Structure 1
């Protein structure tokens, strides 16, 4: 038989009371914080899962901030390119109007002045800010507006390339301004036509047989005109001096074909007049295209044929610039579409991480309330037991 002293009974009762009080307190803390795991020692495995999930959530938030920055930038870029395309279209309509044979030199000068104002607006669009102290077309960075209007034309002062967001996704923050504004394909995209005649003009030309087109290094043709006895003929001379066409009779507006290419010359070319065919290069500037048209329309000494050549070459160049701007705008639109997909993936990843964290450490409120009520019952029973035990003292028995 074991002998249980009064002191031992009191100590056991107090320990039990304190244990019940601690369990009740912990249950109350869990209810208040709505967390099942209050400290790593409560459930080390669950705490580790929750910590990994929180890290994943933080990474998803960082990625989302980067994606949002790219979205804002691409939205500004797409809007700027839309404005630029509209300005180029306005310029094209003015150039078409300037080709009206009834226009006087003064009227053509008025058109040139309007084109000058459009050029100023276009430069403003090219230097548009991103709202954060930078520029939409700054490439890899520029502390000043990336395009500067200099005596020789507009120059790009930024650094070529693009800035990418700091995230798991390959998304741009800027576009290469030089590539967007100063690098449209010249001519028709394959070759460029030009004239030195004051009485005839040449069109943009076209490709008739791609398989016969020579390499750029060899694409250098000269169409030479000879007039004798009232008859006008032409030769098409290759770069090496050989003849692609020899002594062909000239007819106004008739197609001239050679080596997979074709072009049309109109007017009355004089003896010794030449027209050049050179390879297209990605070096056409939106501003140079306007500058050439403006200079041509402001020159009152130009003949009717030269004005026509100015108009045709100007329309060709403006179409090339418009195509470049529209292509870049389409790219910005594609990036915005991709950003929507990236945003959806980042949101899904964050939701998954949040769900994993919740499963690891969050409280089941129904079960927690039930546990809290049980702990209250246990604590109340412990209090009653302790109160009863206090009445079992030998001195209390003697006094009774």
Structure 2
């Protein structure tokens, strides 16, 4: 005969099961309420280790971008000051050039030119001040790769560069906060950029323009001397290559205002040459902007006649070359500022993407969370009711 065994469930076991369900519902409800309060799905790494790691990586990268953006803001401010300073320098150079043109007025006396030289000296000193300009943190704008104190200083009447020549390279997230002061202020070619022309003779009786290159392929880079001679009322010139000591042109007829051409160069010469009059042509050399200004001031203060005319012509040519150098530096600064805008935009986009990654990993879906709270409340209520029923289960309820 087969007996049926009816499983027995102890009242104590039912109590424990109900209490466990009740505690779990309380824990789930409390966690949901905490998540809603913080608006975070992941409150601690144990909630979701992988999501917590992803969110932490995103925050670390966002913090790094914030540091880079603060540095970029400081760099942009320095470059903005640099661009403004170079703009002031261009204006000062234009004023200097206008004054030089006025110096050629034949009605000017020696005192007038002395007064003009003083005004030019003031403009020159203002330019030196611009070259030593600093940013809001006291760092030189034209320090190059580094500078001990001011990058430009006067030594024995000559401006020297104390910085380290070179340009700090840009990166994907940053820009240089200073420019190469050597390239900007100390690398101006003399003369017309290819050669220089100077007068000889006492007093100088001929002068020329700054000259030009007529045929670049024929330029040798040699030095030359153009000498003049007058016989029987006729003036001639002779061109000698002083590098090879070769006579290129001998006893050629000279006409004031005419052009003398040789080895790809051409020079317009004016004046009535004396017996010892000559023009010396030499390859262009590199000078500072301040050398150009100082030579121009010295010519205005000390020269006269043909030598002054020659000095003015040379000064105007060199001033244009120096101004072009400064304008090029200003253009480069403008390019850096445009790049700063692009970097800032890219960094903002990258930060937004990282924030989206962080949010996807740890942020809470509020609508879903509120729905879950309602569900957990229902489950909690059911667990309470179940616990109440279990408490009523006792044999004594059926004995009486």
Which one is further off, 108-117 or 147-156?
147-156
> Which residue number corresponds to residue 190 of structure 1?
194
Task: Look up the match of 2:64.
Answer: 59
User: Secondary structure in 2 aligned to 1:61?
Assistant: helix
2:368 and 2:37 mapped to 1: Cα distance? 14
Cα shift at 1:397: 5.7
Question: 3-state DSSP class of the match of 1:243?
Answer: strand
Deviations, residues 6-64 of structure 1 (Å, cap 9, x unaligned): 22111111111110011111111211121222233333333333233223323322332
**Structure 1 match to 2:260:** 256
Q: Work out whether 1:333 is the aligned partner of 2:338.
A: no
Using the TM superposition, give the Cα deviation of residue 392 of structure 1 relative to its aligned residue in structure 2, in angstroms.
Answer: 2.5
**Structure-1 separation of matches of 2:392 and 2:189:** 104
1:267 aligned residue: 271
Q: How many residues align?
A: 392
CA drift at 1:170: 6.0
Contact kept, 8 Å, 2:140 with 2:147, in 1: the verdict is: yes
Partners of 2:349 and 2:247 in 1: CA distance: 67
- Does the CA-based 8 Å contact 1:54-1:357 persist in structure 2? yes
Tell me the alpha carbon deviations over residues 180-205 of structure 1, each in whole angstroms, 9 at most, x when there is no partner: 11111222122222222411112111
Q: Equivalent residue for 1:298?
A: 301
Q: Structure 1 CA distance, aligned partners of 2:169 and 2:388?
A: 73
Shift of the 280–170 alpha-carbon distance from structure 1 to 2, 3 Å rule, reads farther
In structure 1, runs of 5+ residues without a counterpart are none
Q: What is the DSSP-based 3-state SS (H/G/I as helix, E as strand, rest coil) of the residue aligned with 2:197?
A: strand
Q: Structure 1's 199 and 4: CA in aligned 2 closer, same or farther, altered over 3 A?
A: same
Q: 1:27 aligns with which of 18, 24, 32?
A: 32
Quote the Cα distance in structure 2 between the aligned partners of 1:397 and 1:29: 45
The SS at the match of 1:236 is strand
| 1:204 match | 210
Confirm whether residue 244 of structure 1 aligns to residue 248 of structure 2: yes
Q: For 1:245 and 1:394, how far apart are their aligned partners in 2? A: 139
Q: Would the aligned equivalents of 1:63 and 1:168 in 2 still touch at CA under 8 Å?
A: no
Cα distance between partner residues in 1 of 2:34 and 2:283: 79
CA distance in 1, matches of 2:397, 2:103: 122
**Which residue does 2:41 correspond to in 1?**
36
Residues 74-115 of structure 1: CA deviation (Å, up to 9, x unaligned): 111111100001001011111111110111111111111101
Please tell me the root mean square deviation across aligned C-alpha atoms, in Å. 1.9
Q: 2:123 aligns with which of 93, 111, 118?
A: 118
- SS of 1:149's partner is strand
Tell me the CA shift for residue 164 of structure 1.
4.9
Post-superposition CA distance 1:206-225 (Å, at most 9, x none): 111122122x3xx2122122
TM-score (norm 2): 0.92
Partner residue in 1 for 2:308: 307
2:3 corresponds to? none
Cα deviation 1:311-352 (Å, max 9, x = unaligned): 212212211110110011111111111221122221221111
SS of the residue 1:144 aligns to: strand
Alignment partner, residue 45 of structure 1: 50
TM-score, normalised on structure 1? 0.92
- TM-aligned CA distance change 1:230 to 1:170, over 3 Å: farther
Point out the more displaced range, 70-79 or 220-229.
220-229
CA displacement 1:258-307 (0-9 Å, x = unmatched) = 111111111122223221222223x22121111112222222xx332122
Is the 8 Å Cα contact of residues 199 and 303 (structure 1) preserved in structure 2?
A: no
1:315-330 → structure 2 map (5 Å cutoff):
315-330=316-331
Q: Distance in 1 between matches of 2:374 and 2:277?
A: 105
Greater mean deviation of Cα atoms: 228-237 or 254-263: 228-237
Corresponding residue number in structure 1 for 2:369: 368
Instruction: Determine the C-alpha separation between the residues in 1 that align with 2:393 and 2:384.
Output: 15
User: Of residues 127, 130, 143 in structure 2, which corresponds to 1:138?
Assistant: 143
1:227 paired to 2:230: yes
1:142-200 superposed Cα distances (whole Å, 9 cap, x missing partner): 241111123231111222223457x5446212111122111112221222222224111
- CA, structure 1 residues 393+273, in 2 after alignment: closer, same or farther (shift >3 Å)? farther
- Alpha-carbon separation, structure 1, partners of 2:274 and 2:75: 57
